[in-house]
A = this chain, B = another copy of it.
């Protein structure tokens, strides 16, 4: 009957989910700073005060955004390990379980969501506390690592290392300097000369990477490749540490 009433009004009923979806859309389009109780309400064709019937104020909205991000990560990582119908009979050999593959897929899934919503890492790190929904992600990661033979101590450290990477890896090292020398190649060359005079190693690195990326369609700074490199660095390091008391890897 509630639905019927809403249909009569000619508009979908407001709900916490609809408000959060609109907030995410707005943050993606205009940035998190543009997510305002008033503007958000306007997007939903409603008055600002109506939002308070579904969310406990602005702080509650931000908490809800973090929850939504965590939900997206769950959906993202759930897609990969669900087959067409079932996991199949090849799931019997549990001894062949490689925790690094499993953990790697989860981290890559989390990164997909962070890249989709570039405002998310700053929001998450600025919140006063970690929401309980995040525990489910830690639990899943830790369960895989324990199953893979890691100790609780090493698993704990792994959670720190992987979490910091997922949250810290969005920002690029360099801005491509947009609109700086796009129309004037002479000015661009002069800029680079000044750049090279001040930070010579950095300039040499950019030049070297630019040259190496000549036949790479993804550009000189392939952020995804950098992420996967660091991820494997950490996973391999953890694997090596799990062998025994810190000796070199096999």
Which residues of A line the B interface, CB within 8 A?
A: 32, 119, 121-126, 129-130, 135-136, 138-139, 142-143, 146, 152-153, 155-157, 159-161, 163-175, 198-202, 204-205, 208-209, 212, 221, 223, 226-227, 229-230, 233-234, 236-238, 241, 248-250
Contacts and interface: CB of A to CB of B under 8 A. Distances in A.
Contacts of A152: 204-205, 208-209
A212 B151 CA distance: 12
A208 B205 CA distance: 45
Contact of A202 (B138, B170, B172, B229): B138
Task: Give how many copies assemble into the complex.
Answer: 2
B157 A230 contact: yes
Nearest to A200: B139
A168 B167 contact: yes
> Which 7 residue pairs are nearest across A and B when measured between Cβ atoms?
A168-B168, A164-B168, A122-B126, A233-B237, A139-B199, A167-B168, A152-B208
A7 to B, nearest CB: 38
A146 B200 CA distance: 12
Q: Is the interface of A mostly helix, strand, loop or mixed?
A: helix
